[in-house]
Chain A
């Protein structure tokens, strides 16, 4: 089976245009609702491999970089990937919390990047039922109190209902599509499902843009190339 290594460019290459794009994402999330800050953020997309997980880990890294307390929760219980992104083993996680009733605080991994991670753990049999449970909702509410930001990674919208269920318990949803890969109809259908479910769509992210080919992103690329933009 093929596995991709997820790059956390914000950590690995902080001055890259990619990192700047994620910083801009963070800024735009912050600006989208000034009065009621969005703190529990779900990353999802219509189809697999659109860049959800990459967006989630990089966004979390931007928060960590800013000195915020951030946790990333892997709610993709069917095909968990966060452990690969952070090079952890998926031994403990939500499974232990749900099935063995362990305290989730003990299950949280502390990455050296400053990001806390709650993995999925062993495979759960009925993810959609688990995700709807009050236990999960309560956990999210607790995390909201304990952390500045909670970034949630979920399965694709069109594959399973999980993403729709989670969209109800988060503050906002970032909808990811991949450049020259995600089909427009799929992206639209997925977004429609989310909005019909009452999800708060913060905005969309177009990932993996081939800058040489894409029309209309030169601006971003050019600006994000300024090397002197130091973060506080």
Chain B
């Protein structure tokens, strides 16, 4: 009896991690199956469900003309870099966006100022005076058109004397026009990788929850702990081997 007890207590120690791996190993087929299922869903989603969107990018520079004015080169650089943030807000202002929507005829139905605003992303780095403006759209042609009109309209509005946006006036110049639009989403590889990872996580979660809610005895130790009675024999599968007769 003592020998039995000692044996059990020794086994009880340090079992958790081992048990964890054991659970994973025993349920490996379920895990693989769930992972594959989620991956298939991810692939179907990526290739069938999601409408691909394209991204067109333009760039422009913010510069202050120091030759014709009396500011120094250093000050011009300083002023220009401070204007970048202003332009970033300016380009997505209602004034500019509305002018873009007015200028493009073949916008899809239900395309609003909001959807336009959401499709624009602006990036700049702090050490340069260059701004990158990209526009996403389901149609590559439209993405290019919107990007170019957005930039040119914003420059026109800023430069217009009547508007009197003095800080931005004559300070914007296009570097690159949008010429081609690249597929921006879905990122097929990433989606598949994510779906595999997600599938794995869901599968592991499922298996662990299943084990957690398993209300049947999986080991003599477990039975002993639960019942509070010594398990005096652990018999390997005998009942299972009973043959069905009659």
Which A residues lie at the B interface, using CB under 8 A? 1-7, 9, 17-18, 21-22, 24-25, 28-29, 31-32, 49, 51, 54-55, 58, 174-175, 177-185, 187-188, 191, 201-211, 213-217, 219-221
Distance in angstroms between the alpha carbons of A17 and B234 in the assembled complex: 10
Q: How far is the CB of A100 from chain B (nearest CB, A)?
A: 29
Bits for B15-36, please: 1 = Cβ < 8 Å to A, else 0.
1001100100010000000000
**Which of B15, B26, B227, B232 is the most central at the interface, judged by chain A CB atoms within 10 Å of its CB?**
B232
Distance in angstroms between the alpha carbons of A17 and B238 in the assembled complex: 10
Distance in angstroms between the alpha carbons of A5 and B240 in the assembled complex: 10
Distance in angstroms between the alpha carbons of A135 and B234 in the assembled complex: 36
Q: How far is the CB of B102 from chain A (nearest CB, A)?
A: 71
Cross-interface CB contact of A25 among B15, B216, B233, cutoff 8 Å? B233
Residue of B nearest to A55 (CB): B235
Contact A204 B245 (CB under 8 A): no
With A177-B223, A204-B227, A204-B231 already in contact, the answer to whether A54 and B236 are too (CB < 8 A) is no
Q: How far is the CB of A12 from chain B (nearest CB, A)?
A: 10
Contact A209 B229 (CB under 8 A): no
Distance in angstroms between the alpha carbons of A28 and B19 in the assembled complex: 27
Distance in angstroms between the alpha carbons of A209 and B232 in the assembled complex: 14
Contact A204 B238 (CB under 8 A): no
Residues of B within 8 A of A203 (CB): 229-233
Cross-interface CB contact of A216 among B1, B11, B239, B241, cutoff 8 Å? B11
Residues of A within 8 A of B235 (CB): 18, 21-22, 25, 51, 55, 205-209
Contact A216 B219 (CB under 8 A): yes
With A206-B223, A215-B15 already in contact, the answer to whether A183 and B239 are too (CB < 8 A) is no
Contact A21 B227 (CB under 8 A): no
Residues of A within 8 A of B226 (CB): 184, 187-188
Q: How far is the CB of A214 from chain B (nearest CB, A)?
A: 5
Distance in angstroms between the alpha carbons of A228 and B201 in the assembled complex: 48
Residues of B within 8 A of A1 (CB): 246
Residue of A nearest to B237 (CB): A208
Q: How far is the CB of A18 from chain B (nearest CB, A)?
A: 5
Distance in angstroms between the alpha carbons of A177 and B244 in the assembled complex: 21
Residues of B within 8 A of A209 (CB): 219-220, 234-237
Contact B244 A54 (CB under 8 A): no
Bits for B181-217, please: 1 = Cβ < 8 Å to A, else 0.
0000000000000000000000000000000000111
Contact A28 B232 (CB under 8 A): yes
Distance in angstroms between the alpha carbons of A177 and B227 in the assembled complex: 11
Residues of B within 8 A of A180 (CB): 216-218
10 new A-B pairs (CB below 8 Å) besides A7-B242, A187-B226?
Answer: A32-B232, A49-B239, A178-B217, A179-B216, A179-B237, A188-B227, A201-B229, A206-B217, A207-B239, A219-B7
Q: How far is the CB of A31 from chain B (nearest CB, A)?
A: 5
Judged by a CB distance under 8 angstroms, whether B73 is at the interface is: no
Q: How far is the CB of B159 from chain A (nearest CB, A)?
A: 76
Q: How far is the CB of A145 from chain B (nearest CB, A)?
A: 26
A-B residue pairs, 4 tightest by C-beta? A203-B232, A25-B233, A28-B232, A216-B219
